[in-house]
Amino acid sequence: MNTTLTTAPGDWMPLVFMGLMGLSLLIYVVLDGYDLGVGLLMAGASDADKDRMVASIGPFWDANETWLVLGVGILLVAFPKAHGLILQALYLPVALMLLGLMLRGVAFDFRVKAQTRWKPLWNRAFMIGSLLAATSQGWMLARYITGFAEGWAYTAFAAVIALALAAAYALLGAGWLLIKTEGDLQLLARRRAKLAWPAVVLGLALVSLATPLVSPTVSARWFRMPELIALLPIPLMTGLALLALRALLNSHRVLGKLCWLPFALMVMVMLMGFIGLAYSIYPYVMIDRMTVWQAAAAPKSLAIILWGCAVTVPAIAIYTVFAYKVFWGKAGDLRYA
């Protein structure tokens, strides 16, 4: 239970990697979140709308998923001891997520390249893959924050969070479509966003309640003075962002000048959730079981990756921004160069 805060040289490095890992997972959840969400929203959309929806995420999805590889990569590289434990505990949902991501990733290309009669099938593969990936990620999140505890209540909790994360992705995806599309599709996105909103609120509330209930460490950390007051901005800002988002969906300006705002507010919600979670968990990689220092790789290995990160992460940021700028504005048809 107790945290070994040693002061050997190089002890700051595991923390840096914890931060980097968290950051890449946050970026992943936002970026792949919107494109998985768009995949979910394809259910029930017209054929032309489906094409346009895929076109809005086509140039980006691949790089978006790379953030997951980086996040898991850092877990593997910086915390090899936790990597094996966590992934073994999550064996089945990981496998399901991978099957989902595979189905979806290949359906992207197959749906337009195979014979037209197969297109509905690949569209379905795209939606099912997106749903499978989104729900398994939610399931994993729930299992992780409850410390992999067993029992029906935990399973039920995981099931609810699985759906809630899918709803959050759908909301994010709807926000993306509001930015990237016009006309009927934009209206459809707004209707779907309204549907997803209550599920997101419920899910967030449940996560916030469950984490302190499950772990005394976490509850002690939140519910004591003066920390409680210092921490209040996190739930407050989350709540405000969600309310503003809901109010905005009723306004016509969300179809025009303010089309970017729902997406931005949703990113804000996810950022707050991330900060809250990080505060709850720190300095553990596995809640109450293994700290970042216990799980960390040798300082020499960490140092060489840190050098790599220092050079490449800014470069990655630059060309990610470049790629988004190239495809700025409303999405047109995807056409090969």
Partner 1 sequence: MDAIVLARMQFAANITFHILFPTINIALAWMLLFFRWRWLSTHDAAWLAAYRFWTKVFALSFALGVVSGITMSFQFGTNWPGYMEKAGNIAGPLLGYEVLTAFFLEASFLGVMLFGHGKVSERVHLAATFLVAFGTTLSAFWILSLNSWMQTPQGYEIINGEFHAVSWLEIIFNPSFPYRLAHKLLASALTVAFVLAGVSAWQLLKGKVQNYTGRVLRVGLTLGAVLIPVQILVGDMHGLNTLEHQPAKIAAMEGVWQTEAGAPLLLFAWPNEKTRSNDFAVGVPNLASLILTHKADGVIKGLDEFKGAHPPVAPLFFGFRIMVGTGMLMLAFSWGGLWLYKRRGWVAERLPRPLLIGLAMMSFSGWLATVAGWYVTEIGRQPFIIYGLVRTSEVASNVAAPTIALTLAGYVTLYLALIVAYVTVIKYMAEKPAEQMATLDEQQKQGTAVA
Q: Which residues bind partner 1 (CB under 8 A)?
A: 58-60, 62-63, 65-66, 68-70, 72-78, 80-81, 83-88, 91-92, 94-95, 98-99, 101-106, 108-110, 113-115, 297-298, 300-301, 304-305, 308-309, 312-313, 316, 319-320, 322-323, 326-327, 332, 334-337
Amino acid at 172: L
Q: How far is the CB of 49 from partner 1 (least distance, A)?
A: 19
Which residue, 2 or 115, has its beta carbon nearer to partner 1? Answer: 115
Cβ distance to partner 1 smaller for residue 252 or 325: 325
Query: Cis peptide before 14, with omega less than 30 degrees from 0?
Result: no
* Cα separation, 280 vs 93, whole angstroms: 23
Q: Specify the residue, 251 or 312, whose C-beta has the smaller distance to partner 1.
A: 312
Closer of 92 and 232 to partner 1 (Cβ): 92
Q: 291 pairs with which residues across the strands?
A: 284
Q: Which is nearer to partner 1, 69 or 243 (CB)?
A: 69
Q: How far is the CB of 84 from partner 1 (least distance, A)?
A: 3
The tokens describing 120, both together, are 């509905």
CA–CA distance, 96 with 263 (Å, rounded to integer):
28
Q: How far is the CB of 95 from partner 1 (least distance, A)?
A: 4
Cβ(162)–Cβ(135) under 8 Å? yes
Rounded to whole angstroms, the Cα distance separating 84 from 162 reads 23
CB 252 to partner 1: min, Å:
29
As measured in angstroms, the least distance from the Cβ of 74 to partner 1 is 7
d(CA 314, CA 295): 26
> Do the Cβ atoms of 35 and 314 come closer than 8 Å?
no
Residue 110 CB, nearest approach to partner 1 (Å)? 6
Euclidean distance between CA atoms 243 and 236, whole angstroms: 11
Nearer to partner 1, 233 or 332 (CB): 332
